[in-house]
Amino acid sequence: MSKDTPPPARILLVDDESAILRTFRYCLEDAGHRVATAQNSALALEALQHDVFDVCFLDLGLGSESGLDLLPKIKAAAPWTRVVVATAQASIDVAVESMRAGASDYLVKPCSPEQLRFAANKQIEARRLEARVEALESERSAHSNAELTSGSPAMAHVLDEARRVADTDASVLILGESGTGKGVTARAIHAWSLRNARNFVTVNCPSLSADLLESELFGHAKGAFTGATESTQGRVAQADGGTLFLDEIGDFPLALQPKLLRFVQDKEYERVGDASTRKADVRIVAATNRDLDAMVAAGTFRQDLLYRLNVISLKLPALRERGEDIMVLAEKVLLEFALAYRRPARRFDAAAQQAIRGYGWPGNIRELRNVIERAVILSSTEDVGVHCLSIAQDTQPQAGSVRVGANVSLEELERAHIVAVMAATPTLDMAANTLGIDASTLYRKRKQYGL
């Protein structure tokens, strides 16, 4: 944990005793956090459908229900929410079982206000670190493949547009399915721009609550909340003179969109807890695989913000629409991994080439990389055979083994069902509708299952 107390976060308390909910709530609100409460499983799951929580304190004895039954459902609905199990039963067995079920920590009741706040701060700090690691990882993967060329007319056209807009300061919105290279393209736009000597800063928008994201983006002032002993500069200030990449902008919290709009428009912002207005000269590139127009129509994305972000929009084609590139990319990635792992693989045999060309690549370049990485590791010869490619099975894994009542986990069943429903419905919104979940939950589940 850093010396500084983390900024306020969004916290969910689940306990059947209203007195405990009240005490915990006062104690956490006193530290500046925004707290919601739920007295049973159904209310807790409903709250998780409507709001992003950074931390959840979960009581194990929920009247006639068990917190241990609810825990996996919380992790399935909101994998990013860190769960602290709070219970009066101080037993090692319960602690171990909770950790196995996905809890991040364990708190024995009764506890002091300091213990409760310490437990919350530890998880909030972990959330912030996770978000930074995600951002760094996407920066790293974008960096390692910055040279972009394409033999596909659709992709070459997009790259040509990207080069032409790169040295303007216009906001760019990059659209495309997951894994099509939106992050790589954003990095390339920065590299081709006059700003390339300054920072390229990535912010991963999903799964941080609006509260945490605000201080991540804009920073906070010393004394902005209890325990803020230092002021921090946000990602916007780090990107001054350079490019700010807002990845997965479709998940940007509605409550924070007015502040982002103001920044995009006027390049002005305030740190949390500091009224003085600051300026940052930042070029904005945003990316999403969601249908922002549909989100505007549904009232979950501001039209004025979309208008500002969408000065230039680039639509990356799916890999299956880039027939000319598939083998070129596959061979490039094969050599990259063969070198990295010091493996003998040098080329694909004829059957493997045919399989690669014939596959639909729903996960796009990310999936291609994963499949080839595995193949390189498995292959003991220079010619990589089709048996090393996991795509043959991946095309129809759900047909046989995964069915209701078979010896499979709930997760496998859920994954298979989502894949089948998505294949049978023309849009993701319709798929979400059939599944009875909202589009953002479906989006996160797709990420979680690598679909």
Please name the helix (run of DSSP H) or strand (run of DSSP E) that holds residue 278, with its range, or none. Answer: strand 277-279
Indicate whether 141 belongs to the interface with ligand ATP (CB under 6 A): yes
Contact, 309 vs 286, CB < 8 A? Answer: yes
Cα atoms found within 13 Å of the Cα of residue 323, Cβ hemisphere only? 2
Cα atoms found within 13 Å of the Cα of residue 135, Cβ hemisphere only? 23
Tell me the window of 134-142, 159-167, 351-359, 405-413 that interacts with ligand ATP (CB under 6 A). Answer: 134-142
Looking at beta carbons only, is 17 or 331 nearer to ligand ATP? Answer: 331
Nearest to 262 by CA among 218, 202, 297, 228: 218
- Phi, psi for residue 87 in degrees, rounded to 5: -150, 155
Judged by CB under 6 A, the chain residues 342 through 401 that form the site for ligand ATP are 365-366, 369
Residue pointed to by tokens 């010869």: 381
* Chain mean position to CA 62: 31
Indicate whether 190 belongs to the interface with ligand ATP (CB under 6 A): no
As measured in angstroms, the least distance from the Cβ of 155 to ligand ATP is: 9
Tell me the window of 21-29, 107-115, 175-183, 378-386 that interacts with ligand ATP (CB under 6 A). Answer: 175-183
Tell me the window of 174-182, 238-246, 263-271, 377-385 that interacts with ligand ATP (CB under 6 A). Answer: 174-182
Judged by CB under 6 A, the chain residues 285 through 324 that form the site for ligand ATP are 287, 289
Judged by CB under 6 A, the chain residues 229 through 288 that form the site for ligand ATP are 287
Residue pointed to by tokens 């499949």: 371
Contact, 57 vs 16, CB < 8 A? Answer: no
Residues 6+ apart with CB under 8 A from 42: none
293: region left, alpha or beta (phi > 0 left; psi from -120 to 50 alpha): alpha
Indicate whether 176 belongs to the interface with ligand ATP (CB under 6 A): yes
Tell me the window of 22-30, 105-113, 136-144, 192-200 that interacts with ligand ATP (CB under 6 A). Answer: 136-144
Tell me the window of 140-148, 157-165, 261-269, 274-282 that interacts with ligand ATP (CB under 6 A). Answer: 140-148
Looking at beta carbons only, is 184 or 352 nearer to ligand ATP? Answer: 184
Residues 6+ apart with CB under 8 A from 229: 3, 4, 5, 222
- Phi, psi for residue 329 in degrees, rounded to 5: -65, -45
Judged by CB under 6 A, the chain residues 33 through 52 that form the site for ligand ATP are none
CA quadruple 14, 56, 71, 448: dihedral, nearest 10: 140
Looking at beta carbons only, is 148 or 422 nearer to ligand ATP? Answer: 148
As measured in angstroms, the least distance from the Cβ of 146 to ligand ATP is: 9
Beta bridge partners of 36: 12
Spatial separation of the C-alpha atoms in residues 331 and 235, rounded to whole Å: 37
Q: Which of 81, 104, 180, 207 binds ligand ATP (CB under 6 A)?
A: 180
Pure H helices in 290-363: 292-298, 303-309, 323-341, 350-358
Looking at beta carbons only, is 179 or 242 nearer to ligand ATP? Answer: 179
Q: Which of 107, 148, 213, 334 binds ligand ATP (CB under 6 A)?
A: 148
Looking at beta carbons only, is 235 or 369 nearer to ligand ATP? Answer: 369
Looking at beta carbons only, is 107 or 203 nearer to ligand ATP? Answer: 203
Looking at beta carbons only, is 138 or 398 nearer to ligand ATP? Answer: 138
Looking at beta carbons only, is 148 or 292 nearer to ligand ATP? Answer: 148
Residues contributing to the site for ligand ATP (CB under 6 A): 138, 141-142, 144-145, 148, 176, 178-184, 287, 289, 329, 365-366, 369
